Chain A
Amino acid sequence: MSVLQHLPLGRFIEAASRGSRQTKQTVQVSFIVMLLMAAMALFSAKVNAEVPNAVPPEGSYSGIHVEQPIEFPHDTHADINEINCMYCHTYARRSKVAGIPPTSKCMGCHSVIATDKPRIQKLTEYWENKQPPLWNKVHDVPDFVHFTHEKHIKRFVIDNEDLEVENVSEVCAFCHGEVKKMTVADKVKPLTMGFCQRCHQANDGPSDCWHCHK
């Protein structure tokens, strides 16, 4: 009661419900419940708009930057040109690892597109020398962790009928952050056991130790 008295709306409720003490309390409780429900509806609506039937994992991380041989612009590809993540990271739905595309896949487009840009010229140089660029690993989990992209993509993308195709990158963003706003991908999520486990609990994932530890 005392908390609500400091709020203009609380005073209004109190004024509106002059009578027995019990009535006032009931009205206040129902008001709080209504507020909570509204907040929940807002929150869930916001989540459902992008990835339905899923609760994204929570956790913050200051982020690490890993230098790459070519400063690959994820934003140009995934955000401006709206290329699906799995066009290049094609193994994500098929195996444990998401995979780095072979240079031939890059050259499939870039033998004709934007050939005057310095980064594409560097790529062409690699291609002509028949040497792949040695990309450095950004998202790495310890040796004792078994993680499959395949099963997660199945749960959140393939079996998720309400998901719209253009929102697939939002699923990837659960663990990889907003990669489509970055140039070179940085590690911006903690990828710790707590981070995984919170998501598993929220989305009814397995909690058996040997599902993920090997």
Chain B
Amino acid sequence: MSLSNLIDDWSRYRKGREEGGFHDYEHMWGMSIDLNKCIGCNACSVACYAENNLAVVGKEKFEKGQGMHWLRVERYWDEPDLGEERTSEFQQHGASFLPMMCQQCNAATCEPVCPVAATYHTPDGLNAQVYNRCIGSRYCSNNCPFRLRYFNFWSYYEDSWPAPLQMQLNPDISVRDMGVMEKCTFCVQRIRTVKDTARMEDRKVRDGEVQTACSQTCPTGAIEFGDMLGMYDPETGVAETRVTKMWRKHQVELGKTKQNKQTPEMRGYRVFEFLNTDPCVMYLDRVREV
């Protein structure tokens, strides 16, 4: 069954790519992150920990590379390192931030290598990870060009939430055990809840109805989340979703290895686009006054 899902997905993706448009998909969840707005406060990362039952691993394990943050805020320095001349441990100017969560690649490199088909693509355009199917081969993590998959080296649930802290765990997502690979899911439990509600009310999912924990928390509203198939509908008058609008405005398109921009000064880009993984997350480049 998983294997047939895997095969269906590839044919669905190839069809969408060849015909130019991914309309066989139910939804295509995507993001647009404005780095001009990002202040590097890490609130998104904290929200992700709270929403997705992530364990805090501690300094020692983190140093060994066993960190468990589905969303990490990478820090880069635009100005050169002053070396000996610097006055403090950190540079005073020129920090820029890059929030990195699973890019939900449409041609994901992690998917075809899974020996048990625990990771596959859903008809929502999401890169799924089925925890109870995962055997922990870590092949997917090795194949991810972004290093956005995290492995449970320890049974964190045993001592990460001593009573009564286990009461804070989110019941809509499982608490993963040792030996399981995990990653950002675009808060699939929220998507599922909204889709269930919409189906019960016999309507379509509205724009802005699904919010991921990170986009909800972001104090500057840098993260936009929504359905990228939400085009303008002249019949019903439903406007296109904000994410679609952002992608269109910045002339970034799905299914392309290199964007053919009419106006190259538009800031939109996707990370490692040349690798042809076709990510669903678009970043808007940071602009600085010099």
A209 in contact with B189 (CB, 8 Å): no
| A213 to B192 Cα, complex, angstroms | 11
Encode B199-216 as 1/0 by CB contact (under 8 A) with A. 110000000000000000
Query: B42 CB to closest chain A CB, in angstroms?
Result: 26
Encode A132-171 as 1/0 by CB contact (under 8 A) with B. 0000000000111010101100100000000000000000
Residues of A within 8 A of B196 (CB): 148, 150-151
A151 in contact with B2 (CB, 8 Å): no
| A13 to B242 Cα, complex, angstroms | 73
Binds A, one of B61-69, B142-150, B169-177, B263-271: B169-177
B5 in contact with A214 (CB, 8 Å): no
A209 in contact with B5 (CB, 8 Å): yes
Size of B's binding interface in residues, CB under 8 A? 24
B130 in contact with A213 (CB, 8 Å): yes
A197 in contact with B1 (CB, 8 Å): yes
Whether A207 is near chain B, meaning CB under 8 Å from some CB there, is yes
B1 in contact with A207 (CB, 8 Å): yes
B200 in contact with A154 (CB, 8 Å): yes
B200 in contact with A151 (CB, 8 Å): yes
Tell whether A210 pairs with B132 under 8 Å between CB atoms, given A151-B199, A154-B200, A197-B1.
Answer: no
Whether B222 is near chain A, meaning CB under 8 Å from some CB there, is no
B192 in contact with A146 (CB, 8 Å): yes
Residues of B within 8 A of A146 (CB): 172, 189, 192
Residues of A within 8 A of B179 (CB): none
Whether A71 is near chain B, meaning CB under 8 Å from some CB there, is no
Whether A204 is near chain B, meaning CB under 8 Å from some CB there, is no
Residues of B within 8 A of A144 (CB): 131-132, 174
Whether B188 is near chain A, meaning CB under 8 Å from some CB there, is yes
| A202 to B98 Cα, complex, angstroms | 47
Name the CB-closest residue of A to B171: A143
A210 in contact with B174 (CB, 8 Å): no
Residues of A within 8 A of B120 (CB): 209
Residues of A within 8 A of B133 (CB): 209, 213
Query: B210 CB to closest chain A CB, in angstroms?
Result: 15
Chain A: interface size category:
10 to 19
Residues of B within 8 A of A214 (CB): 172-174, 188-189, 192
B128 in contact with A209 (CB, 8 Å): yes
Whether B112 is near chain A, meaning CB under 8 Å from some CB there, is no
A210 in contact with B1 (CB, 8 Å): no
| A84 to B141 Cα, complex, angstroms | 51
Tell whether A209 pairs with B130 under 8 Å between CB atoms, given A151-B200, A154-B200.
Answer: yes
Give residues 190-213 of A contacting B (CB, 8 Å).
197, 207-211, 213
Give residues 120-169 of B contacting A (CB, 8 Å).
120, 122-124, 126, 128, 130-133
Most chain B beta-carbon neighbours within 10 Å: one of A146, A148, A197, A209: A209
* A–B Cβ pairs within 8 angstroms, 22 of them: A144-B174, A146-B192, A148-B196, A150-B196, A150-B200, A207-B4, A208-B122, A208-B123, A209-B1, A209-B2, A209-B120, A209-B128, A209-B130, A209-B133, A210-B188, A211-B192, A213-B130, A213-B131, A213-B132, A213-B133, A214-B173, A214-B192
**Residues of A with Cβ closer than 8 Å to B?**
142-144, 146, 148, 150-151, 154, 197, 207-211, 213-214
**Residues of B with Cβ closer than 8 Å to A?**
1-2, 4-5, 120, 122-124, 126, 128, 130-133, 172-175, 188-189, 192, 196, 199-200
